[in-house]
Structure 1
Amino acid sequence: MADDDDKPKRHTLDSLFHVYCNHKVLNAAELENEEFNSILLSQLDSWLQQAKLMPHPITRTQTGLIYMRYKKWRLEYEDFLEVLQQLCSDTDLNYDEFKETMVAAGPPTGGTDIVVVK
């Protein structure tokens, strides 16, 4: 099965979640070597924008209102999936297709780095 090792790995929703959690972290010098496993609202919006789901059919107001229901700065993966489900419900989008669109958007700013999620 050596051929499988040579093939480029495709991102999954959870691997991209990890990439976006650590994208554009402000004050990186203060957070030296810190790795995040939860996502900020700005990172979620950036991902939706790259997936061309924002500003239509989803708006920043929608994501902000849903996100703030959790009353925390960062959302873990399970909360993130609930936010996606709520966005799909509010906009009559198919949840599975929505997730596929998010994966197809790829890493932030078109980067091709593969992140291994442990």
Structure 2
Amino acid sequence: MADDDDKPKKHTLDTLFAVYANHQVIPTEIENEVFDGILLSQLDAWLEQAKLMPNPITRTQTGLIYMRYKKWRLEYEDFLEVLQQLALDNDLGLDEMKQTMLDAGVPSGDTGLVAVK
């Protein structure tokens, strides 16, 4: 009988958030640091992989909404608010948008790096 632990686990939006929040980061002084917030560039990369950017969502839109928070990294709750605002601004269904982001999966093998200070 097959054990459930052997089956690949499916990501949820919050687990993918954690993956993207730690993707393409150059470590600073602290080795193996794990981030619980997402950078604007990481959010944009996720939206691009989900094929939601550059159409219907633009980098200008994400940047303007992101900057309202006046934080370097957004926590998961803030991220959900950003998605809600993007869906509203672009006449997209929020649940469909979240599913599209889930379907995009983990980050592709992009070699670009983001320096974090």
Question: What TM-score, normalized to structure 1?
Answer: 0.88
Matched ranges for 1:76-95 at <5 A: 76-95=75-94
Give 2:24's aligned amino acid.
K
Report the identity percentage.
76
Give 1:32's aligned amino acid.
E
1:31 maps to 30
- Using the TM superposition, give the Cα deviation of residue 31 of structure 1 relative to its aligned residue in structure 2, in angstroms: 3.3
Measured against aligned partners, the alpha-carbon deviations of 1:1-23 in whole angstroms (never above 9, x if no partner) come to 85322211101100000000000
1:7 maps to 7
* Secondary structure of 2:3's aligned partner: helix
Using the alignment, how far apart are the partners of 1:4 and 1:32 within structure 2? 33
Matched ranges for 1:35-74 at <5 A: 35-74=34-73
Equivalenced residues, count? 110
- Using the TM superposition, give the Cα deviation of residue 106 of structure 1 relative to its aligned residue in structure 2, in angstroms: 0.4
Question: What TM-score, normalized to structure 2?
Answer: 0.88
RMSD: 1.6
Q: Which runs of 5+ in 2 are unaligned?
A: 110-117
Moved more, 63-72 or 31-40: 31-40
Using the alignment, how far apart are the partners of 2:77 and 2:28 within structure 1? 29
Measured against aligned partners, the alpha-carbon deviations of 1:77-115 in whole angstroms (never above 9, x if no partner) come to 0000000000000000000000000000000006xxxxx
Using the alignment, how far apart are the partners of 1:30 and 1:64 within structure 2? 27
* Secondary structure of 2:69's aligned partner: coil
